[in-house]
Structure 1
Amino acid sequence: MRLPGHPHPRLPLPLAGQDEDMDAFLTWLGEAIPLVRHLGIRAMRWEGEALVWELALSPSLNDKGTGFGGALTAQATLLGWCWTTLWLRRQGRAQDVVVAEAGQRFLAPVSGDYRLVCRPERYDGPVQLAERLAAKGRGRLALVQQLWCGDTLCLEARGDYAVLP
């Protein structure tokens, strides 16, 4: 059982040249952040520079039978944290990541299972982050998340994620 004030042990970095085991990462994430086990994440994968989650709606239902905005916002924020953390791990870096700023716009109700897609706000964002990390050991990256229910864009979110020294 996790206790407040006690950090969870880090997941070992993948060996150089090896891809991240996404199932192992999700298992670790559910141990590190117990809420994750209740989010309905079915799958996680990279699609180019985008990190994608497939999610079941049932754990995030509201009183109207659609997606609860607070749960959807938490998922978008956490997906950005995962993008940044996994990107760092690809670089062989084990650094802490925190969300510094986040916001969202709700565009349509979420009425079925959905997917969340996260990517850098700017195509050169990861390159700039790598340069800041090399120079200062810390940096910040802007990410955007989109929630799709079928072909309908239901939520757009943006977050700044800080990489701590």
Structure 2
Amino acid sequence: MQKELQDYLFSHIPISKAMGAEVIEASNETVAVKAPLSTNINHKSTAFGGSLQAIATLSCWSLLHINLRGMTNTGEIVITNSNIDYIKPVTADFTAYASLPDERRWQQFIRTFERRGKARIQLTAHIYQDDELALDYTGTFAAIAPE
């Protein structure tokens, strides 16, 4: 599943390739996307905030993509809102870890999507530096079935 997702991202979201994004884990429960500091560095020799946000967004978007791809009316996945807490500077290659919310919220999202053809869900991703939380990301994503 990792290679398939990696190929899809490079083909359909070209900035992922330019950022050096690498899918290192891809399952229905978790997606982890790694990026090198060297192509995402800022003037302070730390990871650029926009790169951190982009990789976190990409990990959450990918998690939703994996989980919805088997549905007949998958349609589009778009981000509608995001919030980031930059807790600690990132000074090395970094990985965003996204995971599904609790089962109740996930099932509510699926039921709404199946009934209305559109639904929203909040997903989270985290980036760690030296085993300490460096970035806490929350994004609201919408799935919209084709008309």
- Pair in the same fold by TM > 0.5: yes
Tell me the residue number matched to 1:80: 60
* 1:141 is the counterpart of 2:141: no
Structure 1 regions of 5+ residues with no counterpart? 1-20
How much does 1:149 deviate?
2.2
**Two-structure CA RMSD over aligned residues (Å):** 1.8
| Number of equivalenced pairs | 145
Map residues 92-107 of structure 1 onto 2, 5 A cutoff: 93-107=73-87
The Cα offsets for residues 102-130 of structure 1, whole Å up to 9 and x where unpaired, read as 11000000011122111234442221111
How much does 1:85 deviate?
1.1
* 1:115 is the counterpart of 2:115: no
Tell me the residue number matched to 1:49: 29
d(CA) in 1 for partners of 2:5 and 2:29? Answer: 18
Q: Secondary structure of the equivalent of 1:147?
A: strand
Tell me the residue number matched to 1:37: 17
The answer (yes or no) to whether the contact 1:115–1:149 under 8 Å persists in 2 is: no
Larger radius of gyration: 1
Q: Secondary structure of the equivalent of 1:132?
A: helix
The Cα offsets for residues 22-61 of structure 1, whole Å up to 9 and x where unpaired, read as 2122122112121111222233313672211232211110
State TM-score, norm by structure 1: 0.79
Identity %: 23
Q: Greater RCO between the two (CA within 8 Å, min separation 6)?
A: 2
State TM-score, norm by structure 2: 0.88
